[in-house]
Structure 1
Amino acid sequence: MGPLVAGGCFALGYGITQRIIVMQGAPQEPRREAFASQAFPGESLEALRRRHGEFSRDLTADVAAKEAELAREREAEQSRQEAERIAAEAKRRAEQQTLLPAVAPEPVLPEPAWTQPEQAMPAPVLPKPEPQAQPVVAEPAPVLAEPAPVAAPFPAPPLAPPNP
Structure 2
Amino acid sequence: MTQVSNIPYEDLEVGQTAQFSKTVEERDIQLFAAMSGDHNPVHLDAEFAAASMFRERIAHGMFSGALISAAVACEMPGPGTIYIGQQMTFQKPVKIGDTLTVRLEILEKMAKFRVRIATRVFNQREELVVDGEAEIIAPRKQQTVTLVQLPPISIG
- Per the normalisation by structure 2, the TM-score is 0.17
Name the structure, 1 or 2, with higher relative contact order (CA <8 Å, separation 6+).
2
Higher radius of gyration, 1 or 2: 1
TM-score of the superposed pair, with normalisation by structure 1: 0.16
